[in-house]
Amino acid sequence: MARDQAKLRELRKAYVTGGQSLPLAALSVGVPEGTARRWKREAAEKGDDWDAARGAQTIAGSGRDALLTQAVEGFVIQFQAAIDQITNDPGIEALQRVEMMSKLADAFAKTVASAGRISPKISELGVALDVLKRFGDYVAKNHPDGAGVMIEALEGFGDSLSEVYK
């Protein structure tokens, strides 16, 4: 029984503070996955919610700003991929490109603004991206033929903003 308690503590630690998935944590401490799931469920029934503890540990351990930055960086990667796809698709008309870029800039600004309400450093980046969105809206409305120039200017611009607002 004492050995099981030791394994249970190891499993919880690997899952909660180690950030391992439950199957990986079970494997790393040498217990069957089914046993790990049972122990986790039984702990929750006794008031020890491993998932809540893991979430708190993630925020406390890596820091809220690091967690938010990671989420925003993931979005930036997707944003850049979308820009590349729009840029390289010859079947998209200029006005359509501008509209797509405007929607992307809006989604990006909203994502960063949400994160910025929690993290002031990310908020600075949010202001910069809001300017970008407003510029995209302006170009879409007043200079639809300028889509090509706008897309060229935006390529890599997200990276330079991220460097400035580290």
Confidence of residue 155 (pLDDT cuts 50, 70, 90): low
C-alpha to C-alpha distance for 65 and 58, rounded to whole angstroms: 11
Q: What are the DSSP calls for 66-116, one per residue?
A: HHHHHHHHHHHHHHHHHHHHHHH-TTS-HHHHHHHHHHHHHHHHHHHHHHH
Confidence of residue 37 (pLDDT cuts 50, 70, 90): very high
* Cα dihedral across residues 38, 43, 46, 49: positive or negative: negative
Per-residue pLDDT averaged across 17-25, rounded? 85
**Contact in structure between 7 and 31 (CB atoms under 8 Å):** yes
Per-residue pLDDT averaged across 29-53, rounded? 90
Q: What percent of the chain has pLDDT over 70?
A: 69
The residue among 128 and 84 whose pLDDT is bigger is: 84
Residue 51 CB neighbours (<10 A) = 12
For 163, residues 6+ apart whose C-beta sits below 8 A from its C-beta are none
φ, ψ at 144 (rounded to 5°): -60, -25
pTM of the model: 0.40
Per-residue pLDDT reduced to its tens digit, 63-115 = 566 667 667 777 878 888 888 888 888 999 988 988 888 888 888 888 877 77
First to last CA, the chain: 50
Angle (CA) 20-23-27 rounded to 5° is 90
* Amino acid 31: pLDDT: 94
Mean pLDDT of the residues in the chain: 77
